[in-house]
Amino acid sequence: MPGRLRAPSGRYAGKSAEERKAERRRRFLDAALELFGARPGYRSTTVAALSEAAGLSTRQFYEEFRTLEDVLAALHLQVNDWAEAAVLAAAAETAHAPLTERAGAIFRAYAADVTGDPRRVRIAFVEIIGVSPRLEEQRLARRAHWVDLICAEARAAAARGEAAPRDYRLAATGFIGSVNGLIHDWSAGWVDATLDEVVEELVRQLLGILRPPGWSPRTD
């Protein structure tokens, strides 16, 4: 009917309220990746500084987060999610490859994703440490998720006859510590090796766990 008023659509500049909210959150996380992951670091960043870096107001910050710790928590999960996506993509591409080739592809994907941006390394291995009991619980829970992924790969390899059948949880937990330590130390310049050499060492360690002395792959 001519002249009838339209109901509010909730859109502004072509974006819905949900889209604007998601964009604000992304901008805060992008700014946090730079400030927490480079300089000045999480502990020296203020809400005002983060808001300025994001090009937003402190009022908008508190519409998205309660504290800077909430931002670090979200960023830590995001960094892990990026790495997991790279790992799962490599696993899918090598679904029918032999174990050695598959393990190499998976670790190359993980290492390339994590070390491709030094800020991600700092978020995952440095800034998250010792902040609060809550973030320590999150860090350990996320590490347990990586353990689950390794155990799933080990079970699948055992089912194919490429690895010894056993409970791998304890070994996987220890192996994750080796992965994190070696990747972090390499990225910090404390390991005199190329990234390919680091990946090759991790693959050797994993194969040593999956194929203990005296065990042979099934040939049928």
If you ran DSSP here, which 8-state letter would residue 45 be given? -
Of all residues in the chain, the percent with pLDDT exceeding 90 is 75
CA distance 57 to 220: 64
pLDDT, one tens digit per residue, over 31-54 is 999 999 998 999 999 999 999 999
3: region left, alpha or beta (phi > 0 left; psi from -120 to 50 alpha): left
How does the average pLDDT of the chain come out, rounded? 89
Q: Give 18's pLDDT tier (boundaries 50, 70, 90).
A: confident
Q: Name the nearest CA neighbour of 142 among 156, 123, 158.
A: 123
Pairing mode, if any, of strands 11-12 and 15-16?
Answer: antiparallel
Q: Which residues are bridge partners to 15 per DSSP?
A: 12
| Location of structure tokens 């766990």 | 209
Tokens standing for 39?
């300089």
CA distance 127 to 164: 37
pLDDT of residue 101: 92
- What would the pLDDT profile of 143-185 be if each residue is shown by its tens digit? 999 999 999 999 999 999 999 999 999 999 999 999 989 998 9
- Would you say 53 and 20 are in contact if contact means Cβ atoms under 8 Å apart? no
pLDDT tens for 76-116 read: 999 999 999 999 999 999 988 999 999 999 999 999 999 89
pLDDT number for residue 17? 78
> What is the torsion angle, in degrees rounded to the nearest 10, for the CA atoms of residue 13, residue 15, residue 20 and residue 26?
-110
